Each structure stands twice: as C-alpha cells, then as structure tokens.
Copies of this chain bind each other. A is one copy, B any other.
C-alpha cells in the first residue's frame, strides 16, 4: 500500500510527487501530529533541494486529499484525521493477483448491498430502466455478441435505483476498472461462448427479486451472480 504507482504506465514520478509522498509519510506515520505546523515552504524547499513552486505543488496534493490545511500568512497544518473528508482508493498494480482478489471482494460487498437497497427503494421508472437493459442484453446474446457493455449497463441501472450517490460512484469505478481489466486480459472471447446464457439467467433472477421488492432475495441473487462472475474471472487468469 505504501507503493505509489502511476497507474498503468510507469512514468517517472515528478519532483513534486516524490516530495508529496515523503511529506505524506511524515503525516501518516505520525511523526507530524494532527494540528502541528508543517515546516515553511522555504524550509521544505531547502531540505529537499527543490524550488518553492515544486513544494507548493506537493503541499497542494496533500491539501487536495484533506491531509493538511493551509492558512495564508500562518502556515500549513496537519488536519485532524477525524475531519479528513476525502478518501482515496488507489488501485496501483492490477497485475497483482492478490490486489485483484481484494478489489473483487470489495466490489462484491458494495454491489450486493446496492442490489439489496435497490430492491427496496426502486421506483417504477427504475424497474423499467433495468428491464430495458435486461432486454438489450438478451438481444446482444441473440446477435452472438459478448454483451459486456450491455452487462455493465444492466448493473448501472440497478445501482442507479439505490439513489445513493456513494454506491453509484464507487461501484461505477470498481465495475469499470474490473471490466476494463477483463477486456484487456482475455485473449479469446470464444471462451465466453456458452456462458452468456448462464449469466443472463442470473440477471433474470436479480431482476425478479427487485421486481417483487425482495431485499434478501435480491442480495442472494446478486451474491451468487458475483461469485460466479468471480469464478469466471478466475478462468481468465488461470487458463
């Protein structure tokens, strides 16, 4: 977790990045206590041998993440951990098997709960939107396509029905990330053939539970669907 990768492409970290990382360490490690004043930009620039604008950029990052607060004329101070209002989910290397497993676990937790809430709170319009995507998926299967996009749209429609923006944004992010990985990881889509019917059956089960406002049923259906999806994902990784 301490590793700070730049995503897919391993670009050389900028000076501001390295300074930001080291300052961040000072804070999370506790060497700089909450409320304590950071060294002045002048001092930091001297200790790290970089210019003040670079230091400003680094501190700007920490400020953006809510770790420090700056007051013009006074200085920069370590924020109270309880008051930090932003959380960063940093998926560094997607090649790491364990990291994928951890992410999928998180995705399952969020998506299963979201489905459960959707079953309770869905409006008629929500239900109709979900059914539309379900039908689109069916059409894609008939056309012999993989239906990855329709699959994603189906889940999005469900998530939308939770009317909880946190669930929406988060599973949006995780979904996109995982599916993007699948798309690039699998070399032949042929392996998917024959599985689509099973996927669709699981989708239907989820839909039915949401339709009859069965919270527990929706959660169970979503969980089995996700568990199966995780197994299918494992297939791509273990040929």
Contact = CB atoms under 8 A, between A and B. Distances in A.
Interface of A: 1, 5, 7-9, 11, 16, 53, 56-57, 60-61, 64-66, 69, 79-92, 94, 102-103, 105-106, 108-110, 112-114, 117, 164-167, 169-170, 173-174, 176-177, 179-180, 183
A79 B11 CA distance: 14
A20 to B, nearest CB: 8
A167 B7 CA distance: 20
A113 to B, nearest CB: 3
A9 B69 contact: yes
A87 B9 contact: no
Contacts of A60: 16, 57, 60-61
Contacts of A86: 88-91
Interface of A is mostly: helix
A111 to B, nearest CB: 9
Contacts of A114: 109
Nearest to A66: B7
A82 B7 contact: no
Nearest to A163: B102
Contacts of A66: 7
Nearest to A80: B180
Given A16-B60, A60-B60, A82 B179 contact: yes
A85 to B, nearest CB: 4
Contacts of A79: 7
Contacts of A173: 84, 87
A108 B113 contact: yes
A28 to B, nearest CB: 11
Given A57-B56, A60-B61, A83 B8 contact: yes
Nearest to A162: B105
B105 A113 contact: yes
Contacts of A94: 85
Contacts of A176: 81-82, 84
